[in-house]
Amino acid sequence: MKNLQDEKQRDLSINKSDGTNKFLTTDQGVRINDDNNSLKAGERGPSLLEDFILREKITHFDHERIPERIVHARGSGAHGFFEVTNPIPELTKAGFLKEAGLKTPVFARFSTVAGSRGSTDLARDARGFAVKFYTQEGIYDLVANNIPVFFIQDAAKFPDLVHAVKPEPHNEIPQAASAHDTFWDFISLMPESMHMIMWVMSDRAIPRSYRMMEGFGVHTFRLINEAGESTFVKFHWKPKLGTHAVVWDEAQKISGKNPDFHREDLWEAIEMGNFPEWELGIQIIPEKDEHKYEFDLLDPTKIVPEELVPVTIIGRMVLNKNPDNFFAETEQIAFHPGHIVPGIDFSNDPLLQGRLFSYTDTQLSRLGSPNFHEIPINRSIAPVHNHQRDGHMRQEINKGRVSYHPNSLGGGCPYQAQMSQGGFSSFNERVDAHKVRERSESFRDHFGQARLFFNSQTDIEKSHIVKALRFELGKVETTAIRVRMLGLLAQVDAQLAEKVALGLGAIVPPILEKPINRGVSPENEISGKHEPQTVDSSVTNSDALSMVKNPTNSPTIASRKVAIICAEGVSEAAVMNIKNALLQKDAKGVVVAPHLGAIATDNDKSIAVNFSFLTASSVLFDAVYIPHGHDVDALAKNDDAIEFINDAYKHCKLIAADGDAIELINLMPFAFKISNDDKGILLSKEAASETFAKNFTTAMGEHRFWEREANLYK
Ligand code: HDD
């Protein structure tokens, strides 16, 4: 197979335009002489209808907006490539997975789910992780999330879920938040959502960066080999930088200080050459093992624990180019789980089956025409020939009189391809069943894996889940909803429910003998057929589920940002000592000072300031360093400086100081709390020492110092 790495960029280049050194023209190519004044009857007279230049300009402007995505409206994307590292020809005939070293161009888009296009990046929410592979055999989309399970088991509930989480319809409040009555009303009546709820109430829902998230295909898919044999797989993206999050207080502050935090982070990393990278892994489940587990592979509220089926790495994705135009690329890209190539196929997961309808349908209203596949970012690099014709904004000029098949006038072209010629043929699965509107008995466990997730967390992570639930349910006004939720939480873990209840000033209700009527018909209620039950997970603890224990976490500090707090008289040597040490690890130190411009250093030179305390805050950085040589008293009296350092302490970040600057730490409000166990407070009497710089970058590899929050869950 040909290496296609640059093929998509070549394809896009034919649509690119650049006005540098060119004349301004109308859309019809007529050069414009005056773009500042409309055509009028006299200088002070009315404008003339004949002014085609004005009309064209305003008409185009009037129609600039298209509907935002109904979900995942807020997102950012980038170009890159996927490279096969461990080919799997025995499992799939998909060409882009068959040869080691083969590179396929990709475009990845990351997103929040509930918020509008202009909402904050740091909402508590699942994140979309959609990747379009421009393969030689057509487009393949892996439309994934950063959470491996979903709220619901059947696509029929998707519109209800989205209506419940979106701003409430009467007053359009709140934006990009699930902390409101309609969401929790729905969830409290949908016990199948409890596993997903554990994930979205965990710090997974507030990532540090898109570059530090895992991605999961959620559903079980099939790989099909040349012999037509099927193997079940689950897809996993594992970030090279490890999986990291911020804390909720930090997330809320970032939303105020920089709502584009994730977007900017992705953009800057790529501009700086710190190309984000993920490994693609699969869990391989032979067909014969379909019914081996206590959960159903078709149930999208279940994971396959890595202890049962390990993840096999098959390739890597690198994002190395920012889009040239946000609208043309990131906004107009159209993903669809139904975009598959020979060698990949669907399972009967009822959520996936519903998705297969929804995505094309939504593009019709969002992009306005069945010709959305012709938009440059959506265009396949594999040749496209068929008899689909016309429609709004058709670009392709199909020649000839034949637009049907079979035909003799066109010589039978374009031909159907046999399987040996790459023709797609669906997996030959035998289905022999009655038509029913039923949920499978094997989907009845709603609590077992929620408990597995909760039990797999460290105490700190558990305490964050408790706090998240106290926050979310605390924003719910209807007491009955809060109480119902406590009832469900109690079925996940009694202690969890008690702790949440404490924060709400409520009492955990007894587990109901008769389940709540969730709108099922009376006959079904009597048979109890649709009622949840708990099945104990055969795996009781999985390190892969905890971010703190996660084996994909990595000590690298590449692309991390450190605030270096400077005031007049700062030691240039000390600043440069840390800056250089960071540079060597591909991280960055930026100067934050009481004012912008420059700061005079101890050696009568000056240092350029990147941010003032007004334009930055420690939530935008991974660590804080206060170098030797300041006027410590002045900084100690500066409320902004105190808040800056105090927040870094509260958010369990590394705080370091050397020389005289140690004094400042002693004056901080948290000074009396610092314990010897806290490895995140790094002090060195000697200024600008090499050992200190080394210890600093090593300590940053710890990312957070949770000891400060210890005892929280007890
Ligand atoms: Fe979806 C967008 C991921 C269930 C219907 N979905 C969308 C995007 C992602 C996902 C990442 C944004 C793609 C982009 O960046 O443009 N969706 C998921 C995952 C799901 C899931 C991982 C469960 C496993 N989705 C789901 C269901 C339905 C939809 C059950 C409908 C029945 N999703 C849509 C949609 C969207 C969408 C309405 C909105 C914009 C778009 O498709 O292009 O069709």
| Cα 222 to ligand 1 centre (Å) | 19
- How far apart CA 118 and CA 259 sit, in angstroms, is 9
Atom of ligand 1 at shortest range from CA of 145: 22
Q: For atom 42 of ligand 1, which residue has the closest CA?
A: 359
362 lines ligand 1 (CB under 6 A): yes
Residue 357 φ then ψ, to 5°: -85, -40
Ligand 1 pocket test target in 68, 72, 303 with most atoms within 8 Å of CB: 72
130 lines ligand 1 (CB under 6 A): yes
pLDDT of residue 536: 77
- How far apart CA 397 and CA 401 sit, in angstroms, is 12
Q: For atom 31 of ligand 1, which residue has the closest CA?
A: 355
Q: Is 158 a known ligand-binding residue?
A: yes
pLDDT of residue 675: 83
73: its two tokens: 């409206």
Walking along the chain (714 residues) 10 residues at a time, the average pLDDT comes out as 84 96 96 97 97 97 97 98 98 97 98 98 98 98 98 98 98 98 98 98 98 98 97 98 96 97 97 96 98 97 97 98 98 98 98 98 97 98 97 96 97 95 95 95 95 96 97 98 97 97 96 60 52 78 93 83 96 98 96 96 96 96 96 89 95 96 92 87 96 97 89 58
pLDDT of residue 550: 84
| Cα 33 to ligand 1 centre (Å) | 47
- How far apart CA 147 and CA 289 sit, in angstroms, is 24
Instruction: Give me the catalytic one of 72, 262, 336, 628.
Output: 72
358 lines ligand 1 (CB under 6 A): yes
Q: For atom 35 of ligand 1, which residue has the closest CA?
A: 359
240 lines ligand 1 (CB under 6 A): no
**Tell me: the pLDDT tens digits for 151-162?**
999 999 999 999
Q: Is 518 a known ligand-binding residue?
A: no
pLDDT of residue 529: 56
Ligand 1 pocket test target in 214, 330, 359 with most atoms within 8 Å of CB: 359
| 3-state secondary structure at position 310 | coil
127 lines ligand 1 (CB under 6 A): no
Pairing mode of beta strands 230-239, 215-216: antiparallel
Pairing mode of beta strands 561-565, 654-658: unpaired
87 lines ligand 1 (CB under 6 A): no
Q: Which residues contact 342 (CB under 8 A, 6 or more apart)?
A: 93, 94, 137, 224, 419, 422, 423, 424, 425
Judge: domain 561-709, CATH 3.40.50.920. no
77 lines ligand 1 (CB under 6 A): no
DSSP tag of 515: P
- How far apart CA 449 and CA 437 sit, in angstroms, is 25
Ligand 1 pocket test target in 326, 335, 346 with most atoms within 8 Å of CB: 335
| Cα 631 to ligand 1 centre (Å) | 54
161: its two tokens: 């879920």
Helix (H) or strand (E) holding 479: helix 479-492
| CA dist list (Å): 78 to 237, 259, 265 | 16, 19, 12
| Cα 190 to ligand 1 centre (Å) | 20
Ligand 1 pocket test target in 358, 364, 367, 377 with most atoms within 8 Å of CB: 358
CB atoms < 10 A from the CB of 44, how many?
A: 6
Evaluate whether 629 touches 657 at the Cβ level (below 8 Å).
no
pLDDT of residue 250: 97
377 lines ligand 1 (CB under 6 A): no
689: its two tokens: 């020492």
Instruction: Give me the catalytic one of 79, 145, 628, 703.
Output: 145
Evaluate whether 209 touches 146 at the Cβ level (below 8 Å).
no
Q: For atom 28 of ligand 1, which residue has the closest CA?
A: 355
| Cα 144 to ligand 1 centre (Å) | 8
Q: Where does 604-682 have alpha helices with state H? A: 632-636, 639-650, 662-666
**What is this model's ipTM?**
0.99
| 3-state secondary structure at position 330 | helix
75 lines ligand 1 (CB under 6 A): yes
Q: Is 109 a known ligand-binding residue?
A: yes
- How far apart CA 477 and CA 479 sit, in angstroms, is 6
Q: For atom 11 of ligand 1, which residue has the closest CA?
A: 128
407 lines ligand 1 (CB under 6 A): no
Evaluate whether 294 touches 451 at the Cβ level (below 8 Å).
no
| Cα 454 to ligand 1 centre (Å) | 26
Predicted TM-score (pTM) of this structure: 0.96
196 lines ligand 1 (CB under 6 A): no
Question: Does 446 participate in catalysis according to the annotation?
Answer: no
| Cα 359 to ligand 1 centre (Å) | 7
Question: Does 145 participate in catalysis according to the annotation?
Answer: yes
708: its two tokens: 């400060």
CB atoms < 10 A from the CB of 37, how many?
A: 10
Evaluate whether 322 touches 83 at the Cβ level (below 8 Å).
no
| Cα 615 to ligand 1 centre (Å) | 36
CA nearest neighbour of 15 among 229, 267, 327: 327
**Count of residues making up the chain:** 714
Q: Is 74 a known ligand-binding residue?
A: no
**Tell me: the pLDDT tens digits for 262-289?**
999 999 999 999 999 999 999 999 999 9
CA torsion 40→46→48→53, rounded to 10°?
60
